[in-house]
Structure 1
Amino acid sequence: MTVERFRIGFLPLVDAALPILAHELGFAAKEGLELELVRDMTWATVRDRLLYGHTDAAHMIAPLAIATALGRDRPAVRIAVPFVLGLNGNAVTFSTALARNVGLGETLGDPAEIGAALQSVAAARKAAGKPLRFGVVHRYSSHNYMLRYWLAGVGIRPDTDIEIVVTSPPFAADALAAGEVDGICVGEPWNSIAVDRGVGQIALATAQIWRRGVEKVLAMRHDVAESRRDAVEALVRTLHRAAEQFVEADAAEECAKILARQEYLDAPRDAILRAITDRIRVTPGGEPIHYPDFMFQYREAANFPWRSQAAWLYSQMIRWDSNRFSDADAATAAAVFRPDIYRTALTGTGAPLPGASSKLEGGLEEPIGAGSVQGRLVLGSDRFFDGRAFDPDDIQGYLAGLD
């Protein structure tokens, strides 16, 4: 058997689990693949390695893949996303001082109520000439857009009432401890580490802002996806098998032990295990609480690259970058997500395959059966906290309805 090799870039986050486990648990080898994992500390470096051919694929924040294809901040390069590595899994964490000022409790609160309390603190800090500052992992990240969506929805104007800056995930807890930021929106285990160090308190899970919101993806250059199509499809199957294993309850301990290793997350095993098992320690020293589907890696075709999710991310770029809507750019953004590769790769495996490539986002309150070309597909609630829904065929109408 000819061995196909992939170098895959990643950041030390729990949602980098699937390529790591595909390598460590032998799923890649069974597909005739050899994976080399390349650890970095910033998303900009992950992107640059990918673009300059130092890696073949990358664990990447979904908006950055789209921004790269659109030429935001750099010349455009066509990107393909054939697989979603996970939904949600992030949190908004306040410094302990801000948590006291806002009056956070010992569990996850209501987004609207926390927002109303935060609005008062933000107004006072702005009047005193020391506006609140929140850290996100990249300008083009779901963390940035989720945070902004929530803030704007509760009456806080990002960039006017508060400041938003970039901080690398592994240094987010340090930024809180140093007083450089008053809050962070970051992936696990870095929220939990901030709590365990006594420098932060988790206010919200991003799943409370947008349930089933797209998070990390497998990204690669378009030319790699096309020229190595068979190998890429094998990689999709490999990651799908790793996802199936990852969500097995009796696999959690082993997965956490692997991810905690120095070459991967280099983080406490217990903090990783809590994230994998949907348990969140909200306050320093507190007992972890169970929040179902805090991370979402497998069920309900979670790994399917819905083009409507790419379209929502594009709508947020328009909203916050003050760019004009463009039909051509909207099409480019949606085309980054490649459901065609996903379907071809998993045909005949028994995995549920959606019949559509796009859907209304935020329209489901209760689980509902969905059309599929293979397997039985049930989609769960995907609500936005403010009850809005996003129609990917009417991005301009959606934006006109936002403040």
Structure 2
Amino acid sequence: MTKNASTGPSVTRRSLLTGTAQALGTAALLSAARAVVPGGVWAATADAPETTKAIFGFIALTDSAPLIIAKEKGLFAKYGLKDADVQKQASWGTTRDNIELGSANGGIDGAHILTPMPYLISTGKVTKNNQKLPMYILARLNTNGQCISVSNRYKAAGVTTDAKSLKAAFADMKKAGKEVKCAMTFPGGTHDMWIRYWLAANGVDPDKDVSTIVVPPPQMVANMKVDTMEAFCVGEPWNAQLVAQNIGFTALTTGELWANHPEKALGMRADWVDRNPKAAKAVLMAVQEAAMWCDKPENKAEMCQILAKREWFKVPVEDILTRAQGTIDYGTGRVVKDSPHIMKYWADHASYPFKSHDAWFLTENVRWGYQPAGLDVKATVDAVNREDLWREAAKTLGVAADQMPAGTSRGKETFFDGKVFDPDNPSTYLASLDIRRV
């Protein structure tokens, strides 16, 4: 394990002195100068975190890498969080429960989390007694990198993004008395949204034509092996493992559904962030630096070796490495090298939490009844999305202004079926969808 390794933009003593002298004054200047010491340890008195401890949850998915690398490479400690911990969660439901508890009660302060979950928790849609628990999204952890996998029985039908043949096949199965199940990882979460979008775009109603069931990511392959589902949506390494075991195949990567789509987020309890603003900034700097490290091609092999360890994923490194490097074996004879849909952690603003992306998730949650039809999407996003904190941390880390997004919206987004989401007019997008609950 390499402790206190510098993996992100360098900040020199000279740049700190010259860049801040006029504005900060003598006392603050000396404090800034102390920020860089041998070993790169973040030690500025003015910036010292209010606490050295933060507890995060993670699910065994490749997109948790920035949190795990921040721990393994000593980046949390580098920025003053020497007691930060990253703890494995059994399911997204467990993650929610432990966030509700908070670390003071044996739970966690934040997590590698499905992007819609902080909204579902903040609005009390998935909490005990529907109690609202304010959360913040501090960063995106990745874009792309999920897949929809299908049972081998549909291989001959050539199921891809085009899966219109499934409607008749599923109808025949129901007539024969078999329940048709498609699995995702949490109601209203990203995987639920991807598989629902794909099914609906192909004429399959995800509530009427099939049963959408919840299965924790590490249990997806085992469940398909015993033939309890027809399809599932999850992140890696479980899709690759399914292909390796010849149980099913990859119909599509979710990047084919929506190019460079947002996926997981770094979510934290709002009360923890509000109570510990400097510690929250330290968390962000550690995770941002880890994201930069994870995105470098020369680090992929080491990243996957770390993730494969018993304390993290406990899987063969080969199940993670190939797709992490951009080679997708779909299990159908189709192999794509240098896939444009490779998982990204930092490149192309992957770490930045665009508010427009959160608006899409909320609109889809409204579509399927997870959020009320009258939800004020903009106000809800503004309450949860803290892209301002991301920018502040990135600036301190040394990320140049021209490397940050110009605004909080990535603009209009186009999906594989030609539908367009305009974040300034979500109601028009919602009305354009044929299958919906509202």
Question: 1:72 pairs with 95, 110, 125, which one?
Answer: 125
Matches within 5 A, 1:4-403: 4-34=52-82, 35-53=84-102, 54-74=107-127, 75-100=131-156, 102-104=157-159, 109=160, 111-112=161-162, 115-283=163-331, 289-321=337-369, 324-328=372-376, 330-348=378-396, 349-351=398-400, 352-362=403-413, 383-403=414-434
Instruction: Give the root-mean-square deviation of aligned CA atoms.
Output: 1.9
- What are the Cα deviations for residues 68-107 of structure 1, in whole angstroms up to 9, with x where unaligned? 111113221111011100112110111112324x235xxx
The secondary structure found in structure 1 opposite 2:250 is strand
Q: 1:284 to 1:391 in 2, by over 3 A?
A: closer
SS in structure 1 of the partner of residue 54 of structure 2: strand
Give the share of equivalent positions with the same residue, in percent.
30
CA distance in 1, matches of 2:174, 2:155: 17
Structure 1 contact 282–289 (Cα < 8 Å) conserved: no
Residue 323 of structure 1 and its aligned partner are, at CA, apart by 5.2
1:372 matched residue in structure 2 = none
Contact 1:252 1:276 in 2 (8 A): yes
State the TM-score, normalized to the length of structure 1.
0.88
Moved more, 281-290 or 146-155: 281-290
Shift of 1:145: 0.6
Extract unaligned runs of 5+ from structure 1: 363-382
Q: Is the 8 A contact 2:304 2:317 kept in 1?
A: yes
- Cα pair 1:61 1:141 within 8 Å, conserved: yes
* Alpha-carbon distance in structure 2 between the residues aligned to 1:241 and 1:322: 34
Contact 2:359 2:381 in 1 (8 A): yes
Larger CA Rg, structure 1 vs 2: 2
TM-score scaled to structure 2, two decimals?
A: 0.81
Q: Secondary structure at the match of 1:41?
A: coil
Higher strand share: 1
Distance 2:394 2:125 in 1: 32
Counterpart-to-counterpart distance in 2, 1:280 and 1:14? 15
Measure how far apart 1:358 and its partner are. 2.4
Any idea what SS the aligned residue of 2:293 has?
A: helix
Structure 1 distance, partners of 2:372, 2:72, is 45
Measured after TM superposition, the shift of residue 190 of structure 1 is 0.7
Provide structure 2 residue ranges, at least 5 long, that are not aligned to the other structure. Answer: 1-42
Q: Is the 8 A contact 1:14 1:275 kept in 2?
A: no
CA–CA distance in 2 between the matches of 1:288 and 1:168?
27
How many residues are aligned here?
375
2:110 and 2:244 mapped to 1: Cα distance? 33
Alpha-carbon shift at residue 392 of structure 1 (Å): 2.1
Distance 1:103 1:400 in 2: 30
Equivalent AA in structure 2 for residue 62 of structure 1? T
Q: Which moved more, 1:387-396 or 1:15-24?
A: 387-396
